[in-house]
Amino acid sequence: MNAIRLEPSQKEHAARVWARSFFDYPLMTFCRPDARGRARCLERCFGWTISYGLRYGEVYTTADLAGLAIWLPPGRTRVAPWRCLMSGFPLIPSLVGLGPFFTQMARNERSAQRAHRETVPGPHWYLWALAVDPDRQGQGIGTVLIRPGLEKADAACLPCYLETHNQKSIPFYAKHGFETAGTEQVPGTDMRFWYFVRKPCVHGGKETGEHRE
């Protein structure tokens, strides 16, 4: 099984897979506690996020769309508001009925971006998202999906960064060379997230100083 680039025509299908995978993800249950509206809310939000990844990063899937991974490359690792607008995120979230959801997400995003900025200020690859269909988990698909980004980071001798709100995911990332850089509580909540760095040149490579945000 190999990772392939997600085609724009596959975005809606991929968003549904992501929504199923993250239905019980701690951040999502916190931001949208009502289960009835969560699935549709996540599909819409993840659809916009995939659009962002297609425009400014690299989105990988499998031939049968069993999951997806979004990597943001050096120079584009900051999730900028203007890029969100260019990717279709609504200017006023309340107009689409997602006001409270986006309010909580924005609070989390501010904390996550600060930790990201302070932990890896230089060029790096950012694993922004990883999701595998619940029916296909435990089959090595996550490993396949993140491999392209890890290989590119190694080739350029650059670190990788990610964060997660799911403590159960830590062993998976540790298996792929990620080390815990810290954990923080989102202000005003009892929710925590963990962030990780995979050191550069673990497998050799050529160092690069390219950097653009």
pLDDT in tens, 203-212: 554 444 444 4
Each residue's pLDDT tens digit, 131-154:
999 999 999 999 999 999 999 999
Q: In the chain, where are the structural domains located? A: 4-198
How would you classify the pairing of strands 4-5 and 58-61?
Answer: antiparallel
In this structure, are residues 118 and 67 in contact, taking their beta carbons and an 8 Å threshold? no
Q: List the beta bridge partners of residue 197.
A: 161, 179
Burial class (CB in 10 A: 0-12, 13-18, 19+), 36: exposed
Q: What residues have CB less than 8 Å from 94, skipping those under 6 apart?
A: none
Q: What ranges in 32-79 are assigned the alpha helix state H? A: 35-56
Q: Is the pLDDT of residue 99 over 60?
A: no
Residue range 4-198, CATH number: 3.40.630.30
